[in-house]
A and B are shown apart, each in its own frame.
Chain A
Amino acid sequence: MDLTAVQTVRQARSRAELALAPGERFLAGGTWLFSEPQPDVTGLVDLAALGWDQVELNEDGDLRIGSMTAIGALESWARDSSLPAAPLVIDCAESLLASFKVRGSATVGGNIARSYAAGSMIALGATLDAVAQIWTASAERTMPVADLPAGNGETTLARGEALRAIVIPASALEARTASRRIALAQHGRAGALLTGRRDGDGGCTFVITAATLTPTVLRYPELPDAAVLERDARDAPGYYTDALGDADWRRQVSAVLLAEVREELA
């Protein structure tokens, strides 16, 4: 929809231009920003010209995904990739409510920065130990992607902080992965997204997103007993109720479907 209060649009072409004036806001894919009224946004700072849309493997085999990479573009990369963890990219992208059309514009960074519980690029990053590179006009820092969300729709990113990229370590890319998702409607916004990874050394990481307000990351040195995983899933904090599902159901289906993820990784 039209953002009726917006008076200015400027292209950020350098890091210094990330400094936000009052009322300004970063524009990534725009698919969320333009989907709701934004009466307080008077200026847009377009990140598209910064060239942050590269997906590249570095010499150590780590995968660096530029934050402005369209989710659809990352899916295309994953389809062509032979890395064992690549299918998880497709699963997570498909978990979104967003159609292929929206995913062609929506960005990986935008999905993570928006911090919705059902933001499946967060699930992807959390499951694969991704680290976010965070820039401001004058500084930078890193943080695990799993720790970025502060709540459903709330981020720990400060105003003026932009997500530059996320980096997935080579070791995680070599892991086997599995996922399940459920929503109140078949392709509705996820009520629970369960992802898991089993490393070469047997270590396992299970992640609950969508069902809990922030990502729930469960780590085990080896494949946990089904009963242990179920207990840990049910004991996780942060199951919540909203229009897309009640907390008790989210807890239940998380436990049930995480068991299927475990089964697949066993």
Chain B
Amino acid sequence: MRVDGEQVEREPSPGQCLRTFLRETGHTEVKKGCDSGDCGACTVLVDGRAVHSCITPAFRAADAEVTTAGGLAPGDGLSGIQQSFVDHFGFQCGFCTPGMTVTATALAPEQRDDLPRQMRGNVCRCTGYRPIEDAIRHCGEDSEGCGGCAVRERAGEGVGASASPPAARRVVQGREPYTFDDVPARLAHLAVVGSLHAHARVTSIDASAALAVDGVLAVLTHEDVPDILFSTARHEHRTDDPDDTRVIDSVMRFVGQRVAVVVAETPAIADRASRLIAVEYEVLPAVLDPEAARSPGAPVLHPDRTAADRVADAPRNVVAATHTEVGDVEEALAASAVTATGTWRTARVTHAQLETHGSVAWVADDGRLTVRTSSQVPFLVRDELARMLGRDAATVRVFTGRVGGGFGGKQEMFTEDIAALAALATGRPVAYEMTRAEEFQRTSVRHPFRVTVRAGADAEGRLTALHVDALSDTGAYGNHAAGVLFHGCSESIAVYRAPAKRLDAEAVYTNTVPSGAFRGYGLGQVIFAIESALDELALQLDLDPFELRRLNAVRPGDGFVVAGAAEDDLVFGSYGLDECLDLARASLASPDDVPAPGGDAWSTGEGMAASMIATIPPRGHQAVASVRLGADGVARVGIGTAEFGNGTVTVHTQIVSDVLGIPRARIEVSHSDTDATRYDTGAFGSTGITVAGKALHGACVELRDALVTAGARLMGVDAGVCSLGPDGLVGPHGRTLSWGDVIAATEPAHRLGDDAWAEAHLDERVRSVAFNVQAFRVAVNRATGEVRILRSVQAADAGFVMNPEQCRGQVEGGVAQGVGSSLYEEVLIAEDGSVANAAFRQYRVPQMADVPRTEVLFASTSDDLGPYGAKSMSESPYNPVAPALANAIRRAVGARPYELPMSRDRVWRLTADS
């Protein structure tokens, strides 16, 4: 076999697929997204023909010429299509991108005319596909006509420019290292044995047959792990989550839960041996429904947990609960001119980040336990590992490479614990790379909610009362149960003024796959219900739904009231809701992007929804950022937050360039490594810019001031007439001091070795708010239930937009995930409690054809709190999508959807029943 022009001498093993063979030979450009031929991340050319290498028998390519993304252009160069992906921001996390560029290379010209159909073998979870489509369409000679792309006009270096991600070239070539693309030698591999039962006590485990297999290094069971309770969820305060989980437990609470793990020389041996472990269970009664779970007589999942473990009411399976009221809701509803009542349900959704969870653990030469992982929160993982292992945190290092997508799913510790224990047990580096099936079976899903809303308004449309009764199914463990419940019921309710409000909310254990953090953190589920109820009020009052929001939304001067005292840490750092409402309404009126289908079966309708989000998670989010500048004019940044497609590293380089005046090519960012800086809470809650970026800005300003002061003193001029430029300090009359001279003159507090240095520590406790307004026009086929999106618009109140093309991508990606939850995606639970559709073939992650183009509009706000006036804009674009779509469907067919996803079968039934 020749791979990217070089002869490979190795022989594949008999059942090996081409994907793993290529990776074994060092071709880590080939990624694993699904390992079943559905996602396309592993696409390569075999004798010029594109194939999914994961379903290609390796031996069949033995005499072939294989081309990976790394071989599409000679040497370090980019092919035309790769350059186009760079130019059009055709990736976010970038894990799907090598496969995308190879597939696009293989398209015949006529295939390019029908990309949504031809690209159905390639899944991107981040972008929403628009920039990928642009990248392919505008590639090559056609790119001369690409002036319509705003990208190039806005390109540049500093804040406010659409600066290109620093890793862009490597990403499109497949050369940017993700978690398993750079691993230590002598690596051993771990495979998990999962519970067959939804609720059972393990009575015995016989591992003798597995241990007898040649190449098996160890088998670990509940007897081999620390008897310590923790939560897989990671927060700034570990007490935000209940201690209810063991690394390996002797009680199984969901199908697929770890019973045992095998560590072996190869993944294949580990897999084979894992099937030889004999487990005996005492099967216990299981409960799969959250309403049943909190009813008398239900099996109790965690009978021994108490309030001290932060489980609110273990005998009722209730992890977290709140029941509060302000005003008198019953009285207000009775006196209302109109009321709307309904119960809405949302589905389990899988994150489907293309890079599965995984980590590699080893004891490094310095003696420290070292974990390379796919995480949004390396510092929090380090601290919990240290606690679990009874070690000082200084003896543990956790870091990530580029992370192949997160969406909240990696604000958890799902692999690091067991990989670390296995490495310590065997003395070998151990890799635990999850399969796609494991992602469905033993990570987490979006919490399914059942939300009953009762809302009342007076004849003018002013809200009189709002009652929200939310039931969240947290699955077998309480990771993120309380946080998602309270956050979900917070900004969703606080965004509206009503004299009477009541909240009844509980999160409940069931014997199902655990729920966890997911983009929007509960808001999407509750907003679906509230915004649907508000639409119902607008219909009854014959009021414009945009105006109904304007009339009732909080505005500066109002308190943020959920159903009690006003939130004391939220402020209006800026206010863009009114502008977003105007922008979205005006833009929705533009002509359809997709022509409305003809025929009697089709009806059209418009719908909208609004949402609010706090710009930072509550009760503290920390970042420490440092920047050091050498005499070579290179700035080296140390920062803790992770890059998983959110684009923060790009923005961080823009900030440094803006403050220090040096080009981005001379800025190096070391990030998401517990060695890179002292501390960082992590990349969640959309904090990469609002917290980490702000800390970095602080460090840069401090360094700039120190340099300018020193340089001015050296020149003997006033600091006010000096500034920093690419080559050093610029004084009056263009007089320039070299970096070396300025640094040498800088006072000791800002020196580190030969470099100038500054550090800033931020703990953000005051938070602002951001808004999103989504609107759709749809056509619905009443005979088949097909929903076709004719026009999609989102207006976003992002404050100052640091990088327009990246921020647009965050909004588009959020809308795409929202459309996925709204129309397609649902993790199904079988009668025995197992996941019934644990593969992309049965679980419908949106493909290119399933995601509409969305016109993204930004409000012209600037925030008092965020750096440069920026606000967070990663999670929130997801939140208003489902209700906007539901409201459009309601107005098209005259019947209201109450359940997600609004799949074609459900929508047809809705119209057939009405």
A28 to B249, CA, bound (A): 43
A252 CB contacts on chain B under 8 angstroms: 783-784, 908, 912
Which residues of the other chain, A, contact B601 by a CB distance below 8 angstroms? 256
Q: Please determine whether A2 and B15 come into contact, CB atoms closer than 8 angstroms.
A: yes
Of the candidate stretches A6-14, A59-67, A134-142, the one touching chain B is A6-14
Q: Are B60 and A101 in contact (CB under 8 A)?
A: no
| Docked-complex contact A243 and B837, CB < 8 angstroms | yes
Which of A185, A186, A243 sits near B828, CB closer than 8 Å? A243
A32 to B43, CA, bound (A): 16
Contact of B905 among A100, A104, A249 (CB under 8 A): A249
CB distance B785 to A249 under 8 Å? Answer: yes
CB of A97 within 8 A of chain B?
A: yes
Asked if B37 and A35 make an inter-chain contact with CB atoms under 8 angstroms apart, the answer reads: yes
Contact flag A185-B850 (CB < 8 Å), given A34-B54, A34-B57, A249-B909: yes
- Determine which of B121, B267, B272, B909 lies in contact with A98 in the assembled complex, contact meaning CB atoms within 8 Å: B121
A182 CA to B38 CA in the complex, in Å? 19
Asked if residues A99 and B49 are in contact (CB atoms below 8 Å), the reply is no
State which residues 95-112 of B face A: CB under 8 Å: 103, 106, 111
B36–A35 touching, CB < 8 Å: yes
B743 at the interface (CB under 8 A from A): no
Which B residues between 879 and 906 are near A, CB-CB below 8 angstroms? Answer: 903-905
CB neighbours of B55 from chain A (8 A): 1, 30-32, 34-35, 102, 105
Task: Evaluate contact between A256 and B784: CB separation under 8 angstroms.
Answer: yes
Digitize B251-290: 1 where CB-to-A-CB distance is under 8 Å, 0 elsewhere: 0000000000000000111011001000000000000000
Residues of B near A6 (CB, < 8 A) are 14-15
Per the bound structure, the CA–CA distance linking A105 and B698 in Å amounts to 56
The answer to whether residues A4 and B268 also contact, given A97-B841, A105-B56 and a CB cut-off of 8 A, is: yes
Shortest Cβ distance from B765 into chain A, in angstroms? Answer: 43
Contact B847 A104 (CB under 8 A): no
Q: Does the CB pair A8–B14 fall under 8 Å? A: yes
Contacting pair B60 A30 (CB below 8 A): yes
- In chain A, residues 126-152, which have Cβ atoms closer than 8 Å to a Cβ of chain B? none
Chain B positions 537-582 with a Cβ under 8 Å from a chain A Cβ: none
Tell me whether B54 and A1 are in contact (CB under 8 A): yes
> Residues of B contacting A8 with CB < 8 Å?
14
CB of A39 closer than 8 Å to a CB of B: yes
- Residues in B neighbouring A44, C-beta threshold 8 A: 14-15, 57
Complexed CA–CA distance, A104 and B107 (Å): 13
Residues of A within 8 A of B847 (CB): 185-188
How many residues on the A side are at the interface (Cβ–Cβ under 8 A)? 52
Interface set, chain B 664-721, CB cutoff 8 A to A: none
Which of B14, B56, B269, B785 has the most chain A CB atoms inside 10 A of its CB?
B14
A243 CA to B106 CA, complexed, in Å: 32
The minimal Cβ–Cβ distance linking A179 to chain B, given in whole angstroms, is 15
Within the complex, the shortest CB–CB distance from A41 to chain B, in Å, comes to: 8
With an 8 Å Cβ cutoff, the count of chain B residues facing the other chain is 65
Q: CB distance A246 to B54 under 8 Å?
A: no
Are B784 and A257 touching (Cβ within 8 A)? yes
- Chain B 44-64 interface mask (CB, 8 Å, partner A; 1/0): 000001111011110110000
Residue B844 interfacial (CB < 8 Å) = yes
State A187–B116 Cα separation when bound (angstroms). 9
C-alpha spacing A97/B36, complex, angstroms: 13
Identity of the chain A residue whose Cβ is nearest the Cβ of B58 in the assembled complex: A2
Tell me whether B16 is interfacial, beta carbon within 8 Å.
yes
Cα(A186)–Cα(B114), bound, Å: 13
Report if A102-B52 is in contact (Cβ < 8 Å); known contacts: A5-B272, A187-B849. yes
Q: Which of B360-397 contact A (CB under 8 A)?
A: none
Residues in A with CB closer than 8 Å to B40 are: 99, 101
Expressed in whole angstroms, the Cα–Cα distance for A7 and B269 within the complex equals: 12
- For A20-41 the 0/1 string (1 means CB < 8 A from B) is 0000000100111011111101
Complex partner residue of A100 from B111, B839, B846, CB under 8 angstroms: B111
Of A30, A100, A245, which contacts B121 at CB under 8 A? A100
CB pair A102–B121 under 8 Å, yes or no, is: yes
The residues of B that contact A191 with a CB separation of less than 8 Å are: 904-905
Q: From residue B746, how far is it (CB to closest CB) to chain A in Å?
A: 56
Partner of A2, one of B20, B37, B837: B20
The chain B residue sitting closest to A185, CB to CB, is B844
Q: Is A34 touching B17 in the complex (CB atoms < 8 A)?
A: yes
- Min distance, Cβ A257 to any Cβ of chain B, angstroms: 7
Name the residue on B nearest A100 (C-beta). B118
Complex interface: chain A residues within 8 A of B841 (CB)? 35, 97, 189
The answer to the question of B786 belonging to the interface, with a C-beta cut-off of 8 Å to chain A, is: yes
> Which residues of chain A come closer than 8 Å to B784, judged between CB atoms?
182, 252-253, 256-257
- Is the beta-carbon distance between B121 and A105 smaller than 8 angstroms? no
Question: Would A182 and B786 count as touching, CB distance under 8 A?
Answer: yes
- Closest residue on chain B to residue A38 by CB atoms: B15
> For the complex, is B203 an interface residue (Cβ under 8 Å from A)?
no
Which residues of chain A are within 8 angstroms of B60 by Cβ–Cβ distance?
30, 46, 48
Q: Give the Cβ gap from B528 to chain A, nearest Cβ, in Å.
A: 20
Instruction: Report if A78 contacts B (CB, 8 A).
Output: no
Using Cβ atoms and an 8 Å threshold, which residues of chain A touch B783?
A: 252-253, 256
Choose among A1, A97, A98, A243 the residue that contacts B35 (Cβ–Cβ < 8 A): A1
In the complex, B323 has a CB within 8 A of chain A: no
Q: Contact check, B37 vs A102: say whether CB atoms are below 8 A apart.
A: yes
B850 touches A4 (CB 8 A): no
Within 8 Å of chain B (Cβ to Cβ): is A174? no
Of B119, B836, B909, the contact of A248 (CB 8 Å cutoff): B909
Q: Mark B10-31, 1 if CB is under 8 A from A, else 0.
A: 0001111101100000000000
A39 to B272 Cα, complex, angstroms = 8
A199 contacts the other chain (CB 8 A): no
The answer to the question of B120 belonging to the interface, with a C-beta cut-off of 8 Å to chain A, is yes
B122 at the interface (CB under 8 A from A): yes
CB of B909, distance to nearest CB on chain A (Å): 7
Q: How far is the CA of A186 from the CA of B817 in the complex (A)?
A: 16
Across the A-B interface, the 10 shortest Cβ-Cβ residue pairs = A99-B121, A6-B15, A3-B15, A249-B905, A186-B849, A243-B837, A4-B268, A1-B35, A35-B36, A243-B842
6 contacts across the A-B interface (CB closer than 8 A): A1-B35, A4-B272, A37-B271, A101-B40, A184-B903, A185-B844
- Other than the given A8-B14, A184-B844, A184-B903, 18 more pairs (CB < 8 A) read A1-B19, A2-B267, A3-B15, A4-B268, A5-B272, A34-B37, A34-B54, A34-B56, A35-B38, A41-B15, A99-B52, A101-B51, A101-B106, A101-B121, A242-B842, A243-B828, A245-B904, A253-B908
A residues neighboring B (CB under 8 Å): 1-9, 27, 30-32, 34-39, 41, 43-44, 46, 48, 94, 97-102, 104-105, 182, 184-189, 191, 242-246, 248-249, 252-253, 256-257
